[in-house]
Structure 1
Amino acid sequence: MKNNSVKVLGIDFANKGFDEVVGSLLSRIKSNRKAFIVTANPEIVMYAHEHPDYKKIIQSADMVVPDGFGIILASKILNTPIIERVAGYDLMVRLLELGNENQLKIYLLGGREETNQKAVANINRQYPNVQIVGSHHGFFDWEKNKITAEIKAASPDIIFVALGFPKQEQWIARNLDQFSKGLFMGVGGSIDVLAGEVQRAPRFWQKMNLEWFYRLISQPSRWRRMLAIPRFLLQIFKIKLDK
């Protein structure tokens, strides 16, 4: 276990409260330090457990935060409780708020072209002091594109990558060495919420730790992905029984 972290299926999660995580990330941004942040839920951890190459990518991140009640539950089952959940969407919004306060530069990569443009427009409206220095949809040829060069030239403080897992983490890991600064964070479907195309679960569902169930009801096509949750918990109980 790393300092101030909790290991869940081989992944070291930052054992910090939301505000402490935000403070740490803002410090990195202000000091122009490069950082790779992963917001991992049970689906991501289970995928990493079953795909060693992806697991290495997650383990290489500067910080992995527990995005999902399942991670918190697993840490309690293993008797190494994590302080609190750090939801990826909440973290993204807080970074946008800080971007507005500090006039930070942001690049948005991912989503359909229309979705990407809507998200940019909404950021410009809600956070007028944020500088959107570039954006690009998520449907591009990984071998033939100028995205990395474009981002380097724009020199953003934060790069939100909304390619969905595992692609967003794979893209960051593949390109990170090209940059000398920037906070890189995979945000997945949060771009759809930013664009106003998908509604986040109401506060009641969030407080009851049932946001995952609300998403399943709202997007039934997610049911196959949700099967990762019982498989994840089964692995956790196996570890518990082996101790």
Structure 2
Amino acid sequence: MTKANDSVTIMDIPFLNTTKDDFLHQYLFPRLADQKKSFVVTANPEIVMRAKEDTTYKEIIQSANYVIPDGSGILMAAKYKNEPLQERIPGYDLMLDLLKHAEEKGYSCYFLGAKESVNEKVVKEVNRQYPGLKIAGHHHGFFAIDDPEMAATVKTANPDLIFVALGVPRQEMWIAKHKDQFAKGLFIGIGGSFDIIAGETKRAPQLWINLNLEWLYRLIKQPTRFKRILKVFEFMGRVILRRD
């Protein structure tokens, strides 16, 4: 858990108040060097709302070493509370920085999640972009969360970083259930990042990202996300009306 004076709490979820660069250099890189186990949650309003509705899931999020703000709605809520967060830390960007660092330092990575075809494309693209990266292993996301053999397979690979793309809430549930079996490892749920790396989904243009409108771009490109966007509006409504 993060220290109280380093975080901003939104609906009982403590968000680390830092920049992406500081998060990497002051928190994650030192823990990787010391082989300290870490659980990182890249949280957006959807995750916060799910945690509000599911006590067990909330406890999982609260048990993470770090919860970072991946969503403009989180920044808006913090600002409305007069406790502004320094910046949004997108899980996708964080993943790319971690891959680069792992290549430089000789750390190994495991890629867990997505469809088999997408998972294979991810590994192929990562090999292309980071030719010196050690890939400990990879596996698609179609398995039961409590499957002990899957967890044992990842553990045997002995990775330094485990990127888990099982979607919300499965990725955080899998990490929380199995991480104690590992002696080391940076565990991070990265949602749809595999789809972006594999070229299955296009990320918003940089201008949209700079304007904190990446959510709107996704909605335009994927109208089926509308129900998920409604959760964002519900989240902001609760913040504005100070119901939480």
Are 1:138 and 2:135 counterparts? no
Residue in structure 1 matched with residue 218 of structure 2 by the alignment:
215
Partners of 1:152 and 1:3 in 2: CA distance: 34
| 1:142 Cα deviation after fit | 3.4
Q: Which ranges of structure 2 fall in alignment gaps of 5 or more residues?
A: none
Residues 111-150 of structure 1: pairs in structure 2 closer than 5 A: 111-144=114-147, 146-150=149-153
Partners of 1:183 and 1:144 in 2: CA distance: 20
In structure 2, relative to structure 1, the CA distance for the partners of 1:87 and 1:100 (3 Å cut) is: same
Q: TM-score, normalised by structure 2?
A: 0.96
Do the aligned partners of 2:145 and 2:170 also contact (CA within 8 Å) in 1?
A: no
Partners of 2:214 and 2:158 in 1: CA distance: 35
Q: How many residues align?
A: 241
Residue in structure 2 matched with residue 196 of structure 1 by the alignment:
199
Residues 28-43 of structure 1: pairs in structure 2 closer than 5 A: 28-43=31-46
Encode CA deviations 1:151-206: one digit per residue, 9 max, x unaligned: 11111110000000000000100111111100000011000001111111010110
Residues 41-190 of structure 1: pairs in structure 2 closer than 5 A: 41-144=44-147, 146-190=149-193
Q: TM-score, normalised by structure 1?
A: 0.96
Match for 1:102: what amino acid?
K
Partners of 2:148 and 2:21 in 1: CA distance: 37
Q: Which ranges of structure 1 fall in alignment gaps of 5 or more residues?
A: none
| 1:3 Cα deviation after fit | 2.7
Deviates most, 110-119 or 42-51: 42-51
Are 1:233 and 2:236 counterparts? yes
- Using the aligned pairs only, state the percent identity: 49
Residue in structure 1 matched with residue 6 of structure 2 by the alignment:
4
**Runs ≥4 residues deviating over 4 A:** none
Encode CA deviations 1:207-234: one digit per residue, 9 max, x unaligned: 1110000011111111111110110011
Residue in structure 2 matched with residue 21 of structure 1 by the alignment:
23
